[in-house]
Each structure stands twice: as structure tokens, then as C-alpha cells.
Structure 1
Amino acid sequence: MLKGIRQRTIGSYASLFFIFVCLSVLFYLNIINILTVLLGAFWATVFMAWLTNRRLITPVEQITSVAQEMAGGFLDTEIRVEGEEELDDLAWSINYMARELRKNLIVITEERNRARAILNSMADGVIALDKYGQVILINPVVEEIFKIKETNWLGNKIIKVIRNHELEELFIRALHSMQPVMNSELQVLTPQPRLFNIHVTPLKGNNDEKIGVVGLITDVTERRKLERMRTEFVANVSHELRTPLTSINGFVETLLDGAIEEPIIARNFLEIISAEGKRLANIIDDLLKLSRLEDRRTKLNKQPVDLAEVIGNTITMFEGRALEKNIQITTEISPKLPLVPGDQGFLSQVMINLVDNAIKYTLTGGTVHISVKFNEHEVTVTVSDTGIGIPIESIPRVFERFYRVDKARSREMGGTGLGLSICKHIMEAHGGKIRVESDSSGSQFSFSLPLKE
């Protein structure tokens, strides 16, 4: 191609030289004068310059301009020139190269978007470092866990991104040894303490060239919490069932050993056995209710429920106990309170549990206040008391099964330790929420129910 252009260029200069020689010969033979020679040479030069510009310089400039645009990323532009055959071939080759680059770029973009979509949809965190130990990729899970943005992690050392020397050591060890590194459990502040399972794998290129490392971070905090709760639940169930059974067996043995012959003692023992038997039955009933609620085996009989009526019935049920402790029960309910879609039996059980606890843990002469507020989306019922309150460290756990703030006192008052857990599951079955606030002046238990299913 270049050979053909070179030949045409040499031919153009040779043609000019030939015309100049012919004009010189004619001048020498006195056929034309010097002015004619100069004018002829001028116009011949102008014509050849115009021809060279049209067929060579202008197409080359067009090709150069479009090539620069392509280099800047505008691959949709194509070269359209009218020039020498060789330049047409060059323009076609560049256009073909641009089309192939577009195809390859589309494939690369699709692969990158697919990889990014996979990373974004992963439940686990991903951190990638280059061979210099600088962060080159973090997926949204890690950004959410550690509350960081791309501008804060891109190109930084991992210790500057996540302030944990143990985590940094795992990545650096994998980077230097180019061997997988695992850590069964690592505690990191995020800002709350959380447990993570870390698996760091080296990235290798051609000929085992070191490229970097990638770490998979799995949050096992909830898993460990559930395992602990399960272990505690088994232990608590065993303890809660064993205590009344031990008491019953002990008194029965005492009766069989001769105490049955003494009517007063025998009656006292039988009353205790009856009470422990009822408590055992209550625990088993509550466990069955909780099991059905958790397994979604209990179907709610939803219909419009008048919460004012439910609250009124609950207050009537506890008026006698409140009077014994000189506790005043007050209410704040709007007459325009709308009906709530729900299972009246289950909602009554929630109110009974909350009011029962409020009266139990409120000292003599105290107050229990029930208020109901609503907006266009939900109804919120709050049961407040002036009782002994709940320690701040126990508030997150009060809805756990068998969790008691004061175990001895709760058991003494006849509680099974399952009431609040049942309330929580009833609320979840209704699509609502239950929460607690407490301090030394008393506690507030609130639950919210949606007005639309």
C-alpha cells in the first residue's frame, strides 16, 4: 500500500519536472517567452498540488482525525474517504478494526456487568487486593457492613479501610505465601462486635504470576447467636420441666413415706403438687403454642377486631388483682379507633400477657396505663407501668424463650418465661411489631398492627 502511494508521489514530482523541462526547451527554441514559462510552471504546480491534496493529503487528514476519535473511545465513527485505492484499503481496515473492537468491548462490558451483578447479589462480603496489597474491589455487602464508600477504599491498604490487624494479617499472609488462608471466626467492630468467617484465596495469572488475593467474608454473628439460643433453650426447657417434676416427686415420696397420715401436712403437700402440676401444664401449653406459631401451623382467623373491646375485657379480668395491690389501671383510647384486621383470640392473649406482666412487676400503689394511637397505616397499643424496670443489658433479650430478668422472682410469680416470646410471634404472624422501652421508673411495651392486610 505504501509502495503504491510512494510511486504516485514520485510520479507527480516527475510530471512537474517533465513539464518544466518541456517549457524550458520551448523557451530555448524561442517558441515561447519567459513569462509563458513561468505561468505554465505555476499552473502545473498548482494543479499537481490540488490533485495531491485531494487524493492524498485530505484523505490522510480524515483518517487521522477519525482514528484519534476512535482512540478516545468513539468507536461508532467510521472513515469515509475518496482517495487512492491504498487509502481506501487503509480506511476499510481501520473501520473493520473499530467494528471488532466494538464487539470485543460489548463482550467485555457484558462480562464485567455479569461479574458485578454476581458480586452485588452475594450475601457474603468480597474484598480483593492487588499484588501490592492495595484494595481494588469491595462488594456492596462489605460497604454496608463497615459503612464505607468506594472513594474511601479504592487504592488504600486494607488496614486503612477496616481497622483490624488480624484481618490484615490474613490477607498479607495469603498474599506472601500465595496459599489459601482460612480463619474459623474473627471478631470485628462494625461498630458493634460481629463475628466473621474469613477465607482468603490467592489470585494467579499466567505462569503462576502473583496478581493479588480475594477474601470471602461471611457474617456468622446471627448463626452463633441462634446456636447459643438453641443450646440455652434446650437447657432451659430441661430445667423448667425438671423443677416442677422434682418438686412433685419429692412431695409424693414424702406422702408415701407416711405424711399422708397427717391431714394438714398432706393437704398442704397436695396443694403444692397441684400448683406445680398446673405450672407444668402451662409450660407445655405455651411450648405447643410457640411451636405452632413458629412453624406457621396455626392459621389466623382474621376479621375486624375492636381493640377497645379487647382492652376492656382484659382490664375486667385483672381488676381484682390490681385492687389487691392498690394499682390503678388507666386508659387513653380514641372513640374513633378503627377496627383492626386480626385474630381476636391471639390479640387478646397479647394484651393479657402484657397487662399481667405490668401488674406483676409494679409495686403496690403504682399505675398501669394503656394507650392506643393510630394513623392511616397502623394502630399502636402501649402498656406502661411504674414497676421495677428492666436492666438495659436485658432489654434485647426479653422476647427470647425462657429468658427472665429475675429468674427466682419470675418463677415465684408463676410465669413460664414464654409469654413475651409468644407475643412476639403473634405480632409477626399479624405482620406487626412489638418493642420495649424501660428504665428505673418503669417499662413500656408497645405493639403495632397494620390497618391493611
Structure 2
Amino acid sequence: MLKGIRRRTIGSYAFLFLVFIALSFLKSLGIVDMLTVLLGSFWATVVMAWLTNRRLITPVEQITLVAQEMAGGILDTEIRVKGEEELDDLAWSINYMARELRKNLFVITEERNRARAILNSMADGVIALDKYGRVILINPVVEGIFKIKEEEWAGNQLIKVIRNHELEEHFIRALNSMQPVLNNELQVLTPEPRLFRVHISPLKGSHEERMGVVGLLTDVTERRKLERMRSEFVANVSHELRTPLTSINGFVETLLDGAIEDPTLAKNFLEIINAEGKRLANLIDDLLKLSRLEDRRTKLNKQPVDLAEVINNTVKMFEARATDKNIELTTALPQEMLPVPGDQGFLSQVLVNLVDNAIKYTLPGGKVGIEVTYSQEEVTVAVSDTGIGIPPESLPRVFERFYRVDKARSRDMGGTGLGLSISKHIIEAHGGKIRAESDQEGSTFSFTLPLHD
């Protein structure tokens, strides 16, 4: 192509030279004068310059301009020139290259978007480092967990992004050895303590060259918490079942050994066996009820519930007990109470559990109050007492199964240790929330229910 352009350029200069020689020869013969020679040479030069500009310089400028745009990332413009055949070939080649680049760029963009969509939809955190240990990728899960933005992690060392030396050591070890670091669990402040299982794999190039590492962070905090709760639940169930059974077996053996011959002693033992049997039956009933609630097997019979009726019935149920303990049991209800969609039987059980606990743990001369407040979308029922209170460290766990703040005292007062857990599941099944607050002046258990399904 360049040879053709070079030949045409040399030909143009040769043509001008021949024109000048021809005019000079005519002048030597006296046919033309010097002015005609100069004018002829000038116009021949002008014509050749115009032809060169039209057929060579302008197309080259257009090709150069479009090539610069392509270098800047604009691949949609195509070269359309009418020049020398070689320049037409060059323009076609550049246009073909631009089309191929567009295709490749589209494929690369699709792959990048697909990879980004996969990373964004992952439930686990992903961190990638280059071969120098600098962060090159963090997915939104990690950004959300550690409250960081892209401008804070891009190109920085991992320790500056996530200030955990143990995590950094795992990544550096995988980077230096280019061997996987698998299933390591470590605790990270996020800012709350959370437990992660870390799986780190090396990134290798086509010739086994070191390119970096990528780590997968799986949050196992809730899983470990559930495992702990399950273990505690099994231990607590075993203990709660064994206690009444041990008592029953002991008294039965005593009766069989001859105590049955003493009517007074036998009656006393049988009353204890009867009480322990009822306690055991209540425990099993509560366990079954809790199991059904957790498995969503219990269907709510939702109807408009009159909370005033539920509260008044509960107060009547506990008036005698409150009077015996010299506890003032009061209510604070709005004059107009809207009906609440729910299962009246279950909601009555929640209120009975809360009032029962309040009276149990309130000393003689104290107060227990039930208050109802309405907002635009929900109703709140609060049961407050002036009892012994709950330590701050125990508040987050009071709704766990079998959790007791004072185990010995709670067991002496009766109950299965499942009432609050059952209440929590009932309220959540109604789409509401239950919470506990406590200080030195007593405790308040309250639950909210939506006014509309």
C-alpha cells in the first residue's frame, strides 16, 4: 500500500518537473516568454497540490481523526473516504478492526456484568488480592458487613481495609504459598463480634504464575448460635424432664418400701407425685405447643379481637393471687379500643403468661399494670411491674426456651420456662413484635400488633 502511495507521490513531482522542462524548452525556442513559464509552473503546482490534497491528505486526515477517536474508546464511527485505492483498503481494515473490537468489547462487557451480578447476588463475602497483596475486589456483602466503600478499599492493603491481623495472615499465607487455606473460623469485629468461616484459594495465570488470591467469607454467627441454643435446649429438656421424674421415682420407691402403710405420709407423697406429674404434663404440652408454633403447623383462627375483653378476663383470673400477695393490679385502657385481627385464644395466653410472670416476680406491696396505646398502624400492650428486675446481660435471652434469670428461684415458683418463648412465637405469628425492658424499678414486657392484616 505504501509503495503505491510513494509511486504516486514521486510521479506527481516528476510531472511537475517535466512541465517545468517543457516550458523551459519552449522558452529557449522563443515560443513563450519567462512570465508564461512561471505562470504555467504555478498553475501546474496548484493543480497537483489540489489533487494531492483531495486524493491523499484529506483521506489521511480523516483516517487519523477516526483512529484517534477509536483509541479513545469511540468505536461506533466508521471511516468513509474516497481516495487512493490503498487508502480505501486502509480505511476498510480500520473499520473491520473497529467492528471486531466492538464485538469483543461487547463479549467482555457481558462477561463482566455477569460476573458482577453473580458477586452481587452472593450471600457470602468475597475478597480478592493481587500478587502484591493489594485489594482488587470486594463484593457488596463485605462492603455491607464492614461498612466500607470502594474508594476506601481499592488498591489498599487488606489490613487497612479490615483491621484484623488473623484474617490478613490467612490471606498472606495463601498468597506466599499459593496453596488453599480452608475452613478457618475466626472472629471479626464488624463492629459487633461475628464469626466467619474463611476459604482462600490462589489465582494462577496460564503459566502457573502467581496472580493473587481470592477469599470466601461465610458468616456462621447465627449457625453457631443456633447450634449452641440447640445444645442448651437438649440439656435443658433433659434436666427439666429428669427433675420431676426423679422426684416421682423417689417417692414411689419410698411408698413401695413401706411408707404406704402410713396413711398421712402416703397421702403427702401422693400429693407430691400428683403435682410433679401435672408439672411434667404441662412441660410436655408446652413443648408440643412450641414445636407446632416454630414449625408453623398451628393455624391462627383470626377474627376481630376485643382487647378490652381479653384484658379484663385476665385481670379477673389473677385478682385473687394479686390480693393474696398485696399487689395492686391496675389497667389503663383508652375509652375507645379498636378491634385487632388475631386469634383470641392465643392472645389471651400471651397476656396470661406476662401477667403471671409479673405477679410471680413482684414483691408484696408492689404494683402490676396493664396499659394499651394505639398508633395509626398498630396497638401496643404493655405489662409493667415493680418487681426484682432483670439484669442487662439477661434481657436479650429472656425469650429463649428454658432461659431463667434465677434458675433455682424460678423453678421454685413453678412454670416450665417456656412461657415467654411461646409468647414470642405467638406474637410473631400475628405479624407483631415483643420486647422486654428492665431497670432497678421493675420490668416491662410489651408487644405490638398490626391493626390491619
TM-score, scaled relative to structure 1:
0.97
Give the counterpart letter for 2:116 in structure 1.
R
Distance 1:272 1:73 in 2: 89
Match of 2:178 in 1: 178
Distance 1:375 1:5 in 2: 87
Secondary structure of 1:370's aligned partner: strand
Match of 1:155 in 2: 155
Secondary structure of 2:249's aligned partner: helix
Secondary structure of 1:203's aligned partner: strand
Distance 2:346 2:19 in 1: 112
Give the counterpart letter for 2:278 in structure 1.
K
RMSD: 1.3
| 1:249 and 2:249 aligned | yes
Match of 1:104 in 2: 104
Give the counterpart letter for 1:244 in structure 2.
P
Distance 1:23 1:328 in 2: 132
Match of 2:54 in 1: 54
Secondary structure of 1:197's aligned partner: strand
Match of 1:78 in 2: 78
Which structure 2 residues correspond to residues 301-450 of structure 1 after superposition, within 5 A? 301-450=301-450
Distance 1:108 1:286 in 2: 60
Match of 2:192 in 1: 192
Deviates more, 1:300-309 or 1:167-176: 300-309
Distance 2:401 2:380 in 1: 24
Distance 1:133 1:59 in 2: 49
Match of 1:268 in 2: 268
Distance 1:435 1:90 in 2: 77
How many residues are treated as equivalent by the alignment?
453
Secondary structure of 1:81's aligned partner: coil
In structure 2, do the counterparts of structure 1 residues 337 and 31 end up closer, same or farther at CA, with 3 Å as the change threshold? Answer: farther
Secondary structure of 2:123's aligned partner: coil
Give the counterpart letter for 1:171 in structure 2.
F
Which string of whole-angstrom CA distances, capped at 9 and with x for unpartnered residues, describes residues 20-75 of structure 1? 11111111112111111111111111111111111111111111111111111111
Secondary structure of 2:280's aligned partner: helix
Give the counterpart letter for 1:393 in structure 2.
E
| 1:29 and 2:43 aligned | no
Deviates more, 1:238-247 or 1:302-311: 302-311
Secondary structure of 1:373's aligned partner: strand
Which string of whole-angstrom CA distances, capped at 9 and with x for unpartnered residues, describes residues 244-293 of structure 1? 11111112222222323333322222222221111111101100100111
Match of 1:120 in 2: 120
Give the counterpart letter for 1:115 in structure 2.
A
Which string of whole-angstrom CA distances, capped at 9 and with x for unpartnered residues, describes residues 405-434 of structure 1? 111111111110000110111122112111
Give the counterpart letter for 2:397 in structure 1.
R
Secondary structure of 1:208's aligned partner: coil
Give the counterpart letter for 1:90 in structure 2.
L
Secondary structure of 2:217's aligned partner: strand
Distance 1:67 1:333 in 2: 81
Which string of whole-angstrom CA distances, capped at 9 and with x for unpartnered residues, describes residues 161-189 of structure 1? 11111111111111111111124321112
Give the counterpart letter for 1:106 in structure 2.
F
Distance 1:375 1:36 in 2: 106
Secondary structure of 1:14's aligned partner: helix
Distance 1:301 1:281 in 2: 25
TM-score, scaled relative to structure 2:
0.97
Which string of whole-angstrom CA distances, capped at 9 and with x for unpartnered residues, describes residues 105-161 of structure 1? 111111111111111111111110000001111111111111211111111111111
Secondary structure of 1:240's aligned partner: helix
Distance 1:363 1:136 in 2: 62
Give the counterpart letter for 2:178 in structure 1.
M
Give the counterpart letter for 2:343 in structure 1.
D
Distance 2:128 2:393 in 1: 38
Deviation at 1:374, TM superposition (A): 2.4
Distance 1:78 1:367 in 2: 87
Deviation at 1:302, TM superposition (A): 0.9
Q: Which stretches in structure 1 are left out of the alignment for 5+ residues?
A: none
| Fraction of identical pairs, as percent | 81
Give the counterpart letter for 1:277 in structure 2.
G
Give the counterpart letter for 2:418 in structure 1.
L
Distance 2:252 2:11 in 1: 128
| 1:225 and 2:225 aligned | yes
Distance 2:437 2:444 in 1: 5
Distance 1:91 1:314 in 2: 91
Which structure 2 residues correspond to residues 232-243 of structure 1 after superposition, within 5 A? 232-243=232-243
Give the counterpart letter for 1:125 in structure 2.
G
